[in-house]
C-alpha cells in the first residue's frame, strides 16, 4: 500500500536526475566521447563493485554472503533488463542497439541503487554506495556522450518501475538486493565486451571529457 | 564375474555340489591348496589384488568342471577429481575428470550440468574418455552452472560437485608459435613474437592480453612484462651474449585467469663476430689461453662488448675493466 507509493515516488524523483544527456555539456565535449574512456570506466566500476558487493552482502548476512550461494530466480518480474543474451543475437547487435542497451540498463540500475542508498543501515555502506552511484552516473553520462557523438538518439528516461510490487518480507527484500548486485556485476562484465567490440568498429574520437563536478 | 573388495573375505561355492563333496579348485590353471577349503567351499581370506583371476572347480574323481567364475578384486571409488574450464570463450567450456586412486575394476562416470533450472547436454570428447563439452546457449548469465560427476562401480559409488559463474572458469590455452630472435647490431635486444592460441575463437571481440617472462639461463630471477595488446615485444635490457629463456602467457582482457606458460624458447642476443680470421691474428704472439670455441681475436678486439667474457676467457683486459667488473658480478 503505502510503501508501494513511496517507492514509485522515490524512483520517479531520483530517476529523473541522471537524465541529462551529454547535450547539456555539448559545448565542453566538442567532437565526441572516447569509447576507450567508457571502457575504462566500466573496468573501474567493476573493481569498485567488488568491494561494495562484499561489504553489502556481509551486511545482508548469511546465506547471501556465502560464495556458493546459488538461489533459483524467483518468479518475480525482473526489474532490470538482464545482461544475459543469446550469443548470435549479441554479435549481431548494431552499434546503436548495443549502446542503447547499456544506457538503459545502467540508468535503471542507478535508479535502484539510489533507492537502496536511502535504506541501508550503516554509515560506511551509505558512503560506499554514494560513491559508487556517483561513478555509475558518470558511466551513464559517458555512454550518453558516445551515443550523441555518433548521432544516435538517447533512449527515453527510465520508465516507472513495472509490474513487481516491492518485497513483502525482509528475506525477499534481501533477495532483491542480492539479484540487483548480481545484475550489476554481470552488466559490467558484459559492457567490457560490448565496448571492446565498439572500439574495433568505431574509430575513437580523441577528446578529453571534462566531467561535471557531480560526485567527482 | 564376481567382484570383491580388497581385504574382504570371499567364499565360493562349487555350483550345486554338496558341502562334503570332493572337489579341486584351481586359479589361473594352478591347483589351490586344500588349506583354503572348507569342505567343497573355497575360502579366501583378506583378498588382495593378486588373487584376481579365473577360478575353476572340478569334481574330485571325474574331473568334470562344475563351476567357474572370474574374480576381480578392487576398491569402491574415492571422490573423483573434477575440473571445468573455458579455453574457447564464448563458445562454451569442457569438464575433465579422473579418480585420485585406481579401483582396478571397471567404473562408469555420469556427468550432469545444470544451469538454473535447465539441464544441459555435455557432449563426449571424440578422443578423451574422461572429458565432455558444453556449448553456451546464452552469454553473460547471472545464474551459476552446477556440474555433478558421479562414479559407480560394482563395489560402490561416489560423486563430486562444482558450482561456478560463466566468467570464473575462463582460462585460455597458452600462446602458440613463440619465437625469439636476436636483433642485428643490437647486443641487448631480443625480438619476441607469438600467436593467439588457436583454440580461442574470437580474439577480435574477446581480445587477449599477454604476460611475458624472461631471464638469462644463469640467473633464477625472472623479469616480467605485461602487454595489453599486440603479439610481439622487444626486450631491450638483455645482458649481452647471454642465452635467455622466454615464455608467454595469455588471459582474456577482462575475465578469468592466466593461461599456463607457453613452451619455453631460448635465444641469445646478437653479438659482434670477432674478426679472428684475419692474418694479423696468426702473426701476433697473443695466443690466448682461452679454451673457448673460437680462436683468440687480435688484442684490439679482446675488450669489445664482453663478447669473450661469457665463455670464461682467461685473458683480462685492463682497458675494459668496467665491462669485466659488471659481468663478473654474474659469476659470483
How many angstroms away from the CA of A190 is the closest CA of chain B?
6
For cell 542497451, name the residue: A101
Q: Would the pLDDT of B50 be above 70? A: yes
For cell 556427468, name the residue: B111
Question: Residue B212: which H helix or E strand, with range?
Answer: strand B208-216
CA distance A37 to A22: 15
What is the band of B22 on the pLDDT scale with cuts at 50, 70, 90?
A: confident
* Predicted pLDDT of residue B15: 86
Task: Yes or no: say if A125 and A56 are a contact pair by the CB < 8 Å rule.
Answer: yes
Q: How many contacts, defined by CB atoms under 8 Å, are there between A and B?
A: 63
Query: Could you tell me the pTM of the whole model?
Result: 0.74
Q: Which of A70, A84, A187 lies closest to B146 in CB terms? A: A70
Domain boundaries, chain A: 28-200
Q: Would the pLDDT of B280 be above 70? A: no
Write the pLDDT tens digit of every residue in B284-324.
444 444 444 444 344 444 334 444 444 444 444 444 445 54
CA distance A182 to A102: 16
Search chain B and give the residue with CA nearest A199.
Answer: B205
* Predicted pLDDT of residue B273: 79
* Predicted pLDDT of residue A71: 82
Same fold, B81-164 and B176-267: yes
Mean pLDDT of chain B: 85
* Predicted pLDDT of residue B34: 83
Q: Write the CATH number of the domain with boundaries A28-200.
A: 1.20.1250.10
The number of residues in chain A equals 216
How many angstroms away from the CA of A183 is the closest CA of chain B?
7
Range scoring the smallest mean pLDDT among A69-83, B55-69, B227-241, B260-274 = A69-83
Domain boundaries, chain B: 2-74, 81-164, 176-267
Write out the DSSP string of A94-129: -HHHHHHHHHHHHHHHHHHHHHHHTT---HHHHHHH
B140 at interface of A, judged by CB pairs closer than 8 A: yes
pLDDT values of chain A reduced to their tens digit, one per residue, 216 residues: 444 455 445 555 555 544 444 333 443 343 335 788 899 999 999 999 999 999 899 888 889 988 878 787 776 656 677 899 998 899 999 999 999 999 999 999 998 888 776 676 788 888 888 999 999 999 999 999 999 888 889 988 666 555 455 667 788 888 888 888 999 999 999 999 999 888 877 664 443 444 444 444
* Predicted pLDDT of residue A166: 63
* A90 contacts B139? CB cut-off 8 A: yes
Judge if the upstream peptide bond of residue B90 is cis by omega within 30 degrees of 0: yes
* Predicted pLDDT of residue B258: 97
Q: Would the pLDDT of B242 be above 90? A: yes
* B253 contacts A84? CB cut-off 8 A: no
CA distance A146 to A19: 15
Interface test with B, best of A82, A176, A186 (most B CBs within 10 A): A186
CATH 2.60.40.10 fits domain B176-267: yes
Residues A122-158 as b or e (16 or more Cβ within 10 Å = b): eeebeebbeebbebbbbbbbbbbbbbbbbebebbebb
Mean pLDDT of B134-154: 94
CA distance B27 to B68: 10
What is the band of B278 on the pLDDT scale with cuts at 50, 70, 90?
A: low
Write the pLDDT tens digit of every residue in B148-205.
999 999 999 999 999 999 999 999 999 999 999 999 999 999 999 999 999 999 998 8
CATH 2.40.10.10 fits domain B81-164: no
Whether this model's ipTM surpasses 0.90 comes out as: no
Chain B residues inside the 8 Å CB shell of A85: 138-140
Q: Would the pLDDT of B251 be above 80? A: yes
Q: Which of A46, A87, A183 lies closest to B139 in CB terms? A: A87
Q: The domain B2-74 is classified under which CATH number: 3.50.50.60, 2.60.40.10, 2.40.50.100, 3.40.50.10330?
A: 2.60.40.10
Q: Would the pLDDT of B123 be above 90? A: yes
Task: Yes or no: say if B103 and B74 are a contact pair by the CB < 8 Å rule.
Answer: yes
* Predicted pLDDT of residue A138: 94
Write the pLDDT tens digit of every residue in B79-94.
999 999 999 999 999 9
Phi, then psi, of B201 in degrees rounded to 5: -80, -25
Please tell me what DSSP assigns to residue B147: E
Range scoring the smallest mean pLDDT among B14-18, B109-113, B139-143, B195-199 = B14-18
CA distance B147 to B168: 14
Instruction: Find all residues with CB under 8 Å of A130, minimum gap 6, and list them.
Output: A117, A215
Interface test with B, best of A71, A86, A87 (most B CBs within 10 A): A87
CA distance A66 to B298: 74
Search chain A and give the residue with CA nearest B208.
Answer: A196
* B116 contacts A72? CB cut-off 8 A: yes
**Of B5 and A124, more confident:** B5
Cell of B180: 625469439
Mean pLDDT of B23-47: 88
**Of B43 and B205, more confident:** B43
What is the band of B226 on the pLDDT scale with cuts at 50, 70, 90?
A: very high
In the three-class reduction of DSSP (H, G, I as helix; E, B as strand; rest coil), residue A11 is classed as helix
* Predicted pLDDT of residue B43: 92
Amino acid at each position: 500500500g503505502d510503501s508501494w507509493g513511496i517507492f514509485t515516488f522515490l524512483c520517479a524523483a531520483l530517476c529523473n536526475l541522471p537524465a541529462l544527456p551529454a547535450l547539456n555539456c555539448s559545448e565542453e565535449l566538442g567532437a565526441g566521447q572516447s569509447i576507450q574512456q567508457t571502457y575504462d570506466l566500466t573496468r573501474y566500476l567493476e573493481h569498485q563493485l567488488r568491494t561494495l558487493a562484499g561489504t553489502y552482502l556481509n551486511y545482508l548476512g548469511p546465506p547471501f554472503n556465502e560464495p556458493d550461494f546459488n538461489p533459483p530466480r524467483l518468479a518475480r518480474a525482473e526489474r532490470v533488463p538482464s545482461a544475459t543474451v543469446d550469443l548470435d543475437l549479441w554479435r549481431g547487435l548494431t552499434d546503436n542497439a548495443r549502446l542503447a542497451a547499456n544506457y538503459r540498463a545502467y540508468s535503471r540500475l542507478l535508479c535502484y541503487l539510489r533507492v537502496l542508498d536511502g535504506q541501508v543501515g550503516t554509515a560506511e555502506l551509505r558512503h560506499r554506495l554514494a560513491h559508487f552511484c556517483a561513478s555509475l552516473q558518470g558511466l551513464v553520462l559517458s555512454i550518453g556522450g558516445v551515443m550523441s557523438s555518433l548521432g544516435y538518439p538517447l533512449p527515453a528516461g527510465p520508465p516507472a518501475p513495472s509490474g513487481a510490487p516491492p518485497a513483502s518480507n525482509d528475506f525477499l527484500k534481501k533477495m532483491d538486493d542480492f539479484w540487483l548486485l548480481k545484475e550489476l556485476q554481470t552488466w559490467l562484465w558484459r559492457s567490457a565486451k560490448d565496448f571492446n567490440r565498439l572500439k574495433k568498429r568505431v574509430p575513437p574520437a580523441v577528446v578529453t571529457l571534462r566531467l561535471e563536478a557531480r560526485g567527482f | 564375474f564376481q567382484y570383491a573388495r580388497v581385504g574382504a573375505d570371499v567364499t565360493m561355492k562349487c555350483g550345486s555340489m554338496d558341502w562334503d563333496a570332493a572337489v579341486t579348485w584351481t586359479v589361473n590353471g594352478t591347483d589351490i591348496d586344500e588349506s583354503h577349503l572348507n569342505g567343497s567351499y573355497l575360502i579366501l581370506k583378506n583378498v588382495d589384488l593378486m588373487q584376481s583371476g579365473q577360478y575353476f572347480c572340478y569334481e574330485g574323481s571325474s574331473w568334470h568342471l562344475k563351476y567357474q567364475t572370474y574374480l576381480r578384486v578392487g576398491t569402491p571409488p574415492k571422490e573423483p577429481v573434477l575440473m571445468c574450464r573455458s579455453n574457447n570463450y564464448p563458445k562454451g567450456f569442457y569438464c575433465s575428470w579422473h579418480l585420485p586412486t585406481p579401483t582396478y575394476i571397471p567404473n562408469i562416470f555420469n556427468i550432469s550440468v545444470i544451469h538454473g533450472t535447465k539441464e544441459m547436454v555435455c557432449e563426449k570428447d571424440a578422443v578423451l574418455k574422461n572429458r565432455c563439452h558444453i556449448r553456451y546457449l546464452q552469454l553473460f548469465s547471472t545464474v551459476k552452472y552446477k556440474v555433478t560427476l558421479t562414479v559407480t562401480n560394482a563395489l560402490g559409488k561416489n560423486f563430486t560437485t562444482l558450482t561456478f559463474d560463466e566468467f570464473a572458469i575462463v582460462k585460455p590455452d597458452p600462446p602458440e608459435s613463440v619465437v625469439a630472435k636476436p636483433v642485428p647490431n643490437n647486443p641487448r635486444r631480443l625480438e619476441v613474437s607469438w600467436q593467439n592460441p588457436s583454440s580461442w575463437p574470437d580474439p577480435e571481440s574477446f581480445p587477449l592480453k599477454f604476460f611475458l617472462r624472461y631471464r638469462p639461463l644463469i640467473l633464477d630471477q625472472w623479469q616480467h612484462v605485461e602487454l595489453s595488446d599486440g603479439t610481439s615485444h622487444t626486450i631491450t635490457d638483455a645482458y649481452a651474449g647471454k642465452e635467455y629463456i622466454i615464455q608467454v602467457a595469455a588471459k582474456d582482457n577482462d575475465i578469468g585467469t592466466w593461461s599456463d606458460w607457453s613452451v619455453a624458447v631460448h635465444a641469445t642476443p646478437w653479438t659482434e663476430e670477432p674478426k679472428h680470421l684475419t692474418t694479423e691474428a696468426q702473426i701476433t704472439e697473443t695466443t690466448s689461453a682461452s679454451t673457448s670455441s673460437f680462436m683468440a681475436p687480435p688484442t684490439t678486439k679482446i675488450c669489445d662488448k664482453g663478447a669473450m667474457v661469457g665463455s670464461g676467457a682467461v685473458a683480462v683486459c685492463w682497458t675494459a675493466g668496467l665491462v669485466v667488473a659488471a659481468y663478473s658480478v654474474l659469476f659470483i
